[in-house]
Amino acid sequence: MRIPSAILTLVVGMALVLLGQWVANDVNLLPESASVNAPVYDELFRVLVAIGTMLLVGITGVVIYSLVRFRRQDGDSQDGPAIEGNLSLELFWTAIPAVVVLFLGIYSYDIYDRMGGMADLNGHGMAHQTELASVRHSEPDDENRIWGGIAPAKSSGDVIPVEVTALQFAFIFHYPEQNITSGELHVPTGQTVELRMKANDVIHAFWVPEFRIKQDIIPGQPTVLSFTARKAGDYPIVCAELCGPYHGGMRSHVVVDEPDAFSNWLEANTPATLS
């Protein structure tokens, strides 16, 4: 006796779901996660991988099955059945993807909000003026307007501002509070860092793969990027926007230290002042 196709379909479906879950959770496709944002990002990534794997393997399976099962024998010149459509089936496979992408959109909006992407960068109204450490004392005028980026989700008082200047082909980091200028970025774990970024010549982009963040640095349009490092280590900073012949060489490092080591670094590098 033949096994009913409904049962076979169910089993195949369950296998697909398990496969999707397995690939999403047990196959590591991402680099180390070293910022507070990164696990949030990885959560979204796992959902996308799970859905994507199920779809890809499922569709590939159906196409290969069709090619094998329905292949034409030599000398067979008959036609297949004259099926021109099936309205309910078509409605079904319109509705399901629509629901899935809508869910994904809302979910990724939530993720993005948790990452600080939806924050109001220029604080319309006084209540939000404290959100950005570096514009705390001034109304955003044309000079200080922030055009884009990721701001801290909540205003926390303890933000380390760093001014980033990108030019062909280097990043320069300036710590305004200590007046330190450096070619590599040093940050402590567990504390929000706010990069206030300006480009001198062409568009660059600041990317730390281990932090899962990227922001274009656009000449004439200051942008901001905040993150909180989570794990001590040395991570690459990569320019991700074509900026000229040495674009591939435009790299730097972000050194994440424990808070104590970071204070030592600050102290050791603070220039002596006349006072």
Partner 1 sequence: MTIATPPSQTPEANLSLQPTGWLKYFSFSLDHKVIGLQYIVCGFLFYLIGGALAGVIRTELATPISDFVSRDTYNQVLTLHGTVMIFLWIVPVINGGFGNYLIPFYVGARDMAFPRLNAVAFWMIPPSGLLLISSYFIGGAAQSGWTAYPPLSITTPAMGQILWIVSVLLLGGSSIFGGINFIATILKFRQPGLKLMQMPMYCWAMLGTSILVVLATPVLAGTLILLSMDIVAHTGFFNPASGGNVVVYQHLFWFYSHPAVYIMVLPAFGLVSEILPIHARKPLFGYVTMVYSIMAIVVLGLVVWAHHMFTSGTPPWMRLFFTIATAFIAVPTGIKFFNWIATLWQGRLALNSAMLFSCAFILQFVFGGITGVALAQVPFDVHVHDTYFVVGHFHYIVYGGTVFVIFASIYHWFPKFTGRMLDEKLGRLHLALTFIGFNLCFAPQHWLGLNGMPRRVAEYDPQFTLINQISSVGALLMAISTLPFLFNVVISMVRGTPSGPNPWRALTPEWLTSSPPPVENWKGAAPLVHEPYGYGGPPGVMDLNQASGRDLWRNEP
Residues 235 to 264: which contact partner 1 by CB under 8 A?
Answer: 236, 238-249
Q: From residue 119, give the alpha-carbon distance in Å to each of 18, 123, 150.
A: 37, 9, 7
Least separation in angstroms between CB 71 and partner 1: 5
| Pairwise CA distance, residues 48 & 30, whole Å | 13
Q: For the CA atoms of the chain, what is the radius of gyration?
A: 26
> CB of 128: closest distance to partner 1 in angstroms?
14
Site membership for partner 1, residue 85 (CB under 8 A):
yes
Using the minimum distance from each CB to partner 1, give the nearer residue, 22 or 103.
103
Q: Exactly one of 46, 128, 174, 214 binds partner 1 (CB under 8 A); which one?
A: 214
The yes or no reply on residue 83 touching partner 1 (CB under 8 A) is yes
Could you tell me how many residues of this chain bind partner 1 (CB under 8 A)? 86
- Could you tell me which stretch among 130-138, 233-241, 252-260, 266-274 binds partner 1 (CB under 8 A)? 233-241
Q: How far is the CB of 226 from partner 1 (least distance, A)?
A: 13
- What's the closest the beta carbon of residue 49 comes to partner 1, in angstroms? 8
The full 3-state SS of 106-169, as one line of letters, equals HHHHHHHHHHCCCCCCCCCCHHHHHHCHHHCCCCCCCCCCCCEEECCCCCCCCCEEEEEEEECC
- We find the least distance from the C-beta atom of residue 126 to partner 1, in angstroms, to be 20
User: Which region, judged by CB under 8 A, interacts with partner 1, from 8-16, 181-189, 207-215, 258-266?
Assistant: 207-215
Residues from 107 through 166 that contact partner 1 (CB under 8 A): 108-109, 111-112, 115, 117-120, 147-150
Q: 149's torsion region: left (phi>0), alpha (psi -120 to 50) or beta? A: left
Closest CA to 261 of 234, 237, 235: 234
**DSSP annotation of 134:** G
- CA–chain centroid gap for 159, Å, is 21
- Shortest Cβ distance from residue 273 to partner 1 (Å)? 34
Among 19, 48, 172, 255, binds partner 1 (CB under 8 A): 48
Cβ pair 119, 150 in contact under 8 A? yes
Q: Is 62 in the site for partner 1 (CB under 8 A)?
A: yes
Q: Smaller CB distance to partner 1: residue 77 or 273?
A: 77
Rounded to the nearest whole angstrom, what is the least distance from the CB of residue 221 to partner 1 in the complex?
5
| Beta carbons of 15 and 27 less than 8 angstroms apart | no
Which H or E run includes 43?
A: helix 37-69
